[in-house]
A and B are shown apart, each in its own frame.
Chain A
Amino acid sequence: MDPINIAQTARTPRVEFDFQGKKFIIAGESYPEDVSSFYGPLLEKFTTFLSGSADAQISFRFELIYFNSSTAKILMELFEALEEAAGNGNHVVITWAHETGDDNIKELGEEFAEELSNASFIIEEIAI
């Protein structure tokens, strides 16, 4: 699968999906006008990738400064898909980076992580 690289805009995040290297990044702000048209194609490719993965080292990094509730639903779907892949024998590491002191974003990450039992979860503080 060809890599996906989408540049950040004021309201959509930077997206880097490296299917070859199995490294994935979503970073920036996310409150798209139409959540399904932005994330729909990404989710489709990503779940296709996951369903064809076995015994793989997959890393997903979230580095979000702000996202709205419609985006939160997409993030929940991503966490669920990653957990399922981990349950199917892949080695999955999710990194949730948040700005130092931003408890809102940190807490939201921890809530998503409650979905996880097989995938590893790392919280990271960064200065933005």
Chain B
Amino acid sequence: MFAEDLLQFRNDLYNWGVLFCYSGYLNEAVLESIGTAMRVKLENDTSDPRLARTLFSVFVEQVQNVVRYSAEVEIVDRDGVPPELRHGLLAVGKDAGGHYVTVGNLMLTADVPRLRRDLSEIQKLDRQALTARYREILKAAPPEGSKGAGAGFTHIARLAARGIEFGFHEVENGLSFFGLKAML
């Protein structure tokens, strides 16, 4: 029974076209090891090493968003390791139109309107407008509460030739599940 259930789980992933999937606590070390394995696999699969690199770029931006902002966080009180572990779900796969990178994580419901507004805005922009927006963000001071350049989503949208999809689902205790899919 156990093997059968596990196989079913694997088949579900397969039917989604998933090549790689990770669900759990993430840190930069996980990002590096999964990222490297994924790149080798994709470079091996496609005759286009640049596609592998573009997917890797999207993957890094998405995972760094989880590592920096997921609201499902466990505090680690030990010397020599980053003080936080954040939870996320990530998958890289292939559908009829091409490859995709998708992530999901919990976030504060209070932050949903702002993120929804930003992503809706980004989703409407064409390539030229995305380029302009990216440059504007790089030249500006980092936004309040940002641990990076605040340019990640714009960069993802630039690389996602088939666009981005996103959604929010309210869970409980002021938390919502956020999902983002970048299609290349």
Contact = CB atoms under 8 A, between A and B. Distances in A.
Given A69-B151, A73-B138, A114-B135, A101 B50 contact: yes
Interface residues of A, number: 20
A40 B137 CA distance: 19
Contacts of A65: 53
A69 B149 contact: yes
B28 A33 contact: yes
Nearest to A32: B28
Contact of A31 (B54, B60, B134, B137): B60
A104 B50 contact: yes
B11 interface: no
B152 interface: yes
B57 interface: yes
B139 interface: yes
A66 interface: yes
A33 B60 CA distance: 11
B159 A72 contact: no
Contact of A68 (B36, B61, B82): B61
Given A68-B61, A72-B155, A10 B135 contact: no
A69 B154 CA distance: 9
Nearest to A72: B138
A73 B151 contact: yes
A70 B135 contact: no
Contact of A76 (B53, B82, B139, B148): B139
A45 B15 CA distance: 53
Nearest to B158: A104
A11 B54 contact: no
B135 A68 contact: no
Contacts of B44: none
Interface string B61-103: 1001000000000000000001000000000000000000000
B126 interface: no
A70 B150 CA distance: 8
Contacts of A55: none
A111 interface: yes
Interface in A81-128: 101-102, 104, 107, 111, 114
Contacts of A107: 131
A102 B50 contact: yes
Contacts of A27: none
A69 B56 contact: no
A47 to B, nearest CB: 17
B32 interface: yes
18 contacts: A10-B32, A31-B60, A33-B28, A35-B148, A66-B53, A68-B61, A69-B134, A69-B138, A69-B148, A69-B152, A70-B64, A102-B50, A104-B50, A104-B53, A104-B57, A104-B159, A111-B131, A114-B135
Interface of B: 28, 32, 36, 50, 53-54, 56-57, 60-61, 64, 82, 131, 134-135, 137-139, 142, 148-149, 151-152, 154-155, 159
